[in-house]
Amino acid sequence: MNAAQTKIAVVTGAGSGIGRSVALALAEAGWSVTLAGRRAEALEQTAAAAGEAAGERLLCLPTDVTVVGEVDTLFTGVRERFGRVDLLFNNAGTFGPAGVPLEDLSPEAWREVVEVNLTGSFLCAQAAFRQMKEQDPRGGRIINNGSISAHAPRPNSVAYTATKHAMTGLTKSLSLDGRPHRIACGQIDIGNAATEMTARMQKGILQADGRLAVEPVMDPSDVARTVLHMAELPLEANVQFATVMATTMPYIGRG
């Protein structure tokens, strides 16, 4: 495969939801895409959804992003198959226990959310950074999946909100440290894409004033189109932060 003609992407959390939608959009646009996630069967389903036309441009590599050795294996596999990495979409994440008051959240549950959302994103970004610095031509792009919760919390979401605020700091540091190496980093903050993670919002979710309310959602393909736009910019241009949300969801004036 000619890496000079085909852009190479790594998508974490590619087995479902936003990760699947983004992986499919990239594949349809002609990218070679490595699908990473914990569940091999889910990754294969994503690959099957891309159709036979994607063929050898798709690679499924089951990966737990919280494990250093598995992240190293992921990026070694990408380099051996495709020769380089042009894009990392840092998407793997978890909300943690739903609706648990702060005082009842266990240290174990806190650590799990921090490990997946923050440490996993750091480990993948670090591995991509190393590869992007060394490859020829040098450089690449990292897009982090933030959240509306990187700006405004939901009730009973302390672990998720803390990690998404931290993701913004990670994005800024990667963007700054990447400048000398032609590595661009941006963040997409997403509000209520219709995925498994947001299914409860369509049944009624706790609001800041104590009410339960059904919240509007949007199609994940709307997110995927935005990520694709960010990904296909030349490295001389960068979308630093983008917010894509269901138009009438409670965010502006969430309380």
Q: What is the dihedral of CA 148, 153, 159, 163, to 10 degrees?
A: 40
CA 246 to each of CA 124, 170, 252: distance values in angstroms, whole numbers, following the listed order: 29, 25, 12
- Residue 251 a catalytic site member: no
Residue 146: other Cβ atoms inside 10 A: 27
In whole angstroms, give the CA distance from residue 9 to residue 32.
Answer: 6
188, 230 Cβ separation under 8 angstroms: yes
- Active-site residue, selected from the candidate residues 146, 160, 178, 194: 160
* Strands 183-191 and 140-145, bridge-based pairing: parallel
**Euclidean distance between CA atoms 163 and 171, whole angstroms:** 12
Compute the radius of gyration of the chain from its Cα atoms.
Answer: 18
Nearest to 78 by CA among 131, 5, 14: 131
The alpha helices in 103-217, defined as continuous H runs, are 107-114, 120-134, 158-178
* Catalytic (active-site) positions: 160
